Amino acid sequence: MMTLQFILTIIIVLSLVASVYYSTTARSRKTVKEQGISIARMNIAMGMMLVSFAVVQIFLFGGSAVRYIVGFAFLILGLVNIYGGTKNYRVYAKLPDETNLSEKTK
């Protein structure tokens, strides 16, 4: 049980770091494709973090109804984030490279 808690804590911390990293780098990207891919990766990392929170809430601690409701809400939000992030990643990966953000805003 302690090893599962340790592994989930590592996943939560790594996905939090990845989410913050991709969120900050998305703002400095030059093309629409690079920015979209960074945001999609951020969504995937955030989804992994929420799913890990959900597993901790649902399975590792004794339960009250509120804990299960919050856990299932995190699980649903995490799965939606992972699905949306992978879908957006596929869309942005197919875009051509030459679309600049500065050209789009003019």
Average the pLDDT over each of 22-31, 71-80, 97-106 and give the range with the smallest value. 97-106
Domain count, the chain: 1
**Is residue 99 scored above 90 in pLDDT?**
no
Q: Would residue 1 count as lying in a domain?
A: no
Q: Would residue 31 count as lying in a domain?
A: yes
Phi and psi at residue 34, to the nearest 5°: -65, -40
Q: Would residue 102 count as lying in a domain?
A: no
Tens of pLDDT, residues 43-87: 999 999 999 999 998 888 777 889 999 999 999 999 999 999 999
Q: How far apart are CA 38 and CA 94, in angstroms?
A: 14
Q: Would residue 26 count as lying in a domain?
A: yes
Taking the CA atoms of 8, 10, 13 and 19 in sequence, report the sign of the dihedral they define. negative
**Is residue 102 scored above 80 in pLDDT?**
no
Domain membership of residue 31 as a residue range: 12-96
Q: How far apart are CA 3 and CA 10, in angstroms?
A: 10
Q: Would residue 104 count as lying in a domain?
A: no
pTM for this prediction: 0.85
Q: Would residue 74 count as lying in a domain?
A: yes
Q: Would residue 20 count as lying in a domain?
A: yes
Q: Would residue 3 count as lying in a domain?
A: no
